Chain A
């Protein structure tokens, strides 16, 4: 149904509703009953502030049975039958108080297992009992029943050699592996080597307009006109058949919830709850086939349709599109027709947020060190921004979504707010008030940079203006794009190391796991591009960096394309292909290029580390000649031991550092990053698109640091490299000393519009900087200026250093303390010590 008429009724100004509360500054999540709705507070209490749950074997067992039963059929059919079997047979539950139903696995917070992607680590951790709480897993643990353990381990033999991980690894050559996470960590391929790709969002409006039955009719029509004599149509036939299998199962899955709700209603004694259950049953029954008619029906379908994507593949960062734009017609319709009150719709949104928080995933013990407390992982939801004509699109729901987060204070969904040059002031106030609440939400994106960037990568103006944010950072033409947004992380800091040491790692020695095939037999990791001890001019340093970058970028690209092909072969996604345009139209699975737009987005990490490293070399070795290249190299080789004065100097403000609005170092940051852009952007990928580089680290700068010896910027061995677009922070101190305006200027000297996969600058403020009207307004003006200087994206952590140190010492006092990690927020006390220290080390941008 289409709603074109504007509301006549005056709904009242947003954000100052009677149930609104003063949120305060930096109070974090530590209040009782944050929601004005008793129902929501009851549900919140039930789930507690933790991500721990149970491991669930059902999905893995049903999937494996289906693979066995349908062996020999085309891969898309096997995958479709497996999903269908799960949807028809998996246990489902409806919980007290909830108005929206559906989940991946039950009970709430249970994590299903996805053996088709990677099973070795699960089997190993089950055998070593490191999935449950233990020394090597102090957070993100899952309880495992003996029965679950037995059932899962039974699957081990079947999956041996059949997983995406094993198939991909067998095709990656030594040349590709040596630079990967399995080698020396120039780039990390973990995400899509061990898991699904995810990182996209459904075209919900398509589903809402046509319903599952509408989609079914379209597919049947497509199927009916295929010509058996055309080669392309043979493939399409299998594709459409696989879609019909999952579509029918999806309908049945939703109907199962309708039946369960009816059964529960019949048993229910409480009259109010009985009515709610009846309504839930009716909602599910209707939307299982038809377009939703009310806000409640729409949000029910939205939630459950997304859940099926999550059950089909374990790719994370399945994102929810532009919530305020998708739902506004339903909101207006309900309000204007007296179907629902604004309060009830607010309550539904809050319930929906907690439903996302109930979802959970198990990750291996190494991954959780850098991606702690991730939950389902990356459920971004976007509000604000411009409409298809470039006009402001902010509406009541944009405000209500921000209120909902303030009321539930769970780290789901990951809120993204789009701002543009005409965003209304009152919305900026609401956004800033939420930032000041200090849960780390929301992130803010700049339409004025993001839209041109998306256009430059070939999207239409209308699609560019309609972007959502996926996962942590990535702009995406929602429902029309398969962006492979989190393809890999690439350490340009490691590239600099190899550039100044003739292709050899610094710290090379018998301790290295690769010693016997590399350094020990006179080999080196990368090509020989000269040594800092020999370079005659700074230009030679830059030239070496360029050559190393090219070499490693090529290996990154070939590795990712190989993994891409394996996903296409082994794990087509017929259900997701229902909801991403133009898969049905083209008759091509989303993994194989069915989407309208296709990209692969690997991120550069370590911009600050490279900038400061190059600045030290340029200034001290070549300009001021204070130290020879050979000696500087030796100091780093020795992890700065015995070079106290030099170590202090490179960490002092006597050396130019990126982040201080000094062109000397900022220009080198630009060079360091643009060399990466140059060798990555627009290369062909394996699913019909091109590579689009990004610049952010999430928390992987910590992981990269753990794999890298000391570096020339004044970093000691194994310390984190610089995060996202931020400045360097070493144990000796922060390299940015001139405050937020200087950082904003340094960072915007880099070209964000070339980073098709997104950029990020993390800000950290002490709460006392943001108090009062002046504190609020100045934060707005800071963001505005950063954006008018063409910054793309910012996230905020607002908490004092003292608080964080105290939280480390007394974790029990700070159970609810959420901080922004990068891309997402997590409970601080559940992060690893290394990551906690990294967060504490970010400069507090004091206003006074």
Chain B
């Protein structure tokens, strides 16, 4: 795999082995860093920015007197970029930080960590191939996710091509917010597409994600027209998109525009995840004030919405654990 063709670098913020909810079987999921959307409920804020970032978990810090490894290696230490509070590294002054990652490399306690890593295709492949026996037994494979895969489509294309050399099942999880011409750059090497419909009302879509939904819906339609096996997900976020009206509109879109050419429509519960990660990046959690409803309430809500969808003939299910028919 040393040929120059695969020597493109990607920025990857996580490679999770043994995921089972994003595509069939046991899978390895590769998370691409960088995303054009800023969903209020995003639980992977470390995937938003397209470059490497340093995160701070102050509670893990041993104390700068006892350790101090980070201050010793930081090229900008003198500028006070690493802010110490109560003897522990508490935050980073982001404007002064070059994200060189030396502090995280030196930190023995993982109080400082780098989000994102530059990787060649063969670096990623080495990890992917480690579990191929599991893919074969379970009908699993590889899922590319993010962030947004299309922001690094050239790298993704090389990676998918490489996967196909090993006959691996591939799955693409994407917002599909991309230039429509790019779809066909990846689709020949993809076995299953997973995408979201976050809201049918474009202005609300913009309010919740930072962009309107027109391009996304157009690309979903194009994906269906290309006969790509497709799963549509609806993250059901109370007070945002869980109205029966929105679900009806979504179902109508799926029936009339997509002609129901979808494998499954999955309605997923919203969970307040990732708050620690926001904090580590010095970001505010956009849903900080949102009050999580009780399990019984959201379970009932999702079940109702699934029934609404089904009444249109849409293959809707709750959660990700139902087998594809």
Using CB atoms and an 8 Å cutoff, list the residues of chain A in contact with chain B.
644-646, 648-649, 652-654, 661, 738-742, 744-745, 769, 771-775, 777-778, 781-782, 784-785, 788-789, 845, 847-848
Contact = CB atoms under 8 A, between A and B. Distances in A.
Contacts of B322: 772-774
Given A771-B321, A847-B20, 11 more contacts: A644-B66, A645-B109, A648-B109, A652-B108, A739-B16, A741-B131, A774-B20, A777-B25, A781-B25, A782-B26, A848-B20
Contacts of B108: 645-646, 648-649, 652, 654
Contacts of B137: 781, 784-785, 788
Given A741-B17, A788-B137, A789-B133, A645 B62 contact: yes
Nearest to A846: B18
28 contacts: A644-B62, A644-B66, A645-B67, A645-B69, A645-B109, A648-B62, A648-B67, A649-B108, A738-B17, A739-B17, A741-B131, A742-B18, A744-B134, A745-B130, A772-B319, A772-B322, A772-B323, A774-B320, A774-B321, A774-B323, A778-B20, A781-B25, A785-B26, A788-B133, A789-B133, A847-B18, A847-B19, A847-B20
A777 B24 CA distance: 10
What are the 6 A-B residue pairs with the smallest beta carbon separation, nearest first? Answer: A772-B321, A781-B138, A649-B108, A648-B109, A645-B67, A648-B108
A775 B20 contact: yes
A781 B134 contact: yes
Contacts of A848: 19-21
Contacts of B133: 785, 788-789
Contacts of B67: 644-645, 648
A769 B130 CA distance: 22
B110 interface: yes
Nearest to B110: A652
Contacts of A739: 16-18
Contacts of A784: 137
B63 interface: yes
Contacts of B24: 774
A430 B294 CA distance: 33
Contacts of A775: 20, 321
Interface residues of B, number: 29
A410 B149 CA distance: 51
A845 to B, nearest CB: 8
A821 to B, nearest CB: 25
Interface in B1-56: 16-21, 24-26
Interface of B: 16-21, 24-26, 62-63, 66-67, 69, 108-110, 130-131, 133-134, 137-138, 140, 319-323
> From DSSP, what is the main secondary structure of chain A's interface residues?
helix
B321 A645 contact: no
Given A644-B66, A771-B321, A774-B320, A652 B20 contact: no
B110 A781 contact: no
A771 B319 CA distance: 10
A490 B304 CA distance: 58
Contact of B26 (A646, A778, A845): A778
Contacts of A742: 17-18, 130
Contacts of A648: 62, 67, 108-109
Nearest to A789: B133
A648 B106 CA distance: 12
B276 to A, nearest CB: 16
Contacts of A745: 130-131
Contacts of B25: 777-778, 781
Contacts of B16: 739
Contacts of A777: 25, 138, 323
Contacts of A661: 130
B84 to A, nearest CB: 16
A847 B21 contact: yes
Contacts of A744: 134
Nearest to B19: A848
A144 B131 CA distance: 57
Contacts of A781: 25-26, 134, 137-138, 140
B212 to A, nearest CB: 30
Nearest to A643: B66
Contacts of A649: 108-109
Contact of B110 (A653, A773, A785): A653
A789 B109 CA distance: 34
A327 B279 CA distance: 62
Contacts of A789: 133
Contacts of A644: 62-63, 66-67
A652 B323 contact: no
A406 B133 CA distance: 32
Contacts of A645: 62, 66-67, 69, 108-109
Contacts of A785: 26, 133-134, 137-138
Nearest to A845: B18
Contacts of B21: 774, 847-848
B113 to A, nearest CB: 10
Nearest to B109: A648
Contacts of A847: 18-21
A136 to B, nearest CB: 38
B20 A741 contact: no
A781 B323 CA distance: 15
Nearest to B138: A781
A717 to B, nearest CB: 20
Contacts of B138: 777-778, 781-782, 785
A751 B69 CA distance: 40
Contacts of B62: 644-645, 648
A788 B138 CA distance: 13
A245 to B, nearest CB: 56
A848 B26 CA distance: 11
A782 B134 CA distance: 7
Contacts of A652: 108-110
A771 B320 CA distance: 10
Contacts of A654: 108
A649 B320 CA distance: 38
B196 to A, nearest CB: 17
B232 to A, nearest CB: 18
A741 B134 contact: yes
Nearest to A739: B18
A778 B20 CA distance: 8
A712 to B, nearest CB: 15
A652 B107 CA distance: 10
B273 to A, nearest CB: 11
B321 A773 contact: yes
B29 to A, nearest CB: 9
B43 to A, nearest CB: 12
A648 B57 CA distance: 14
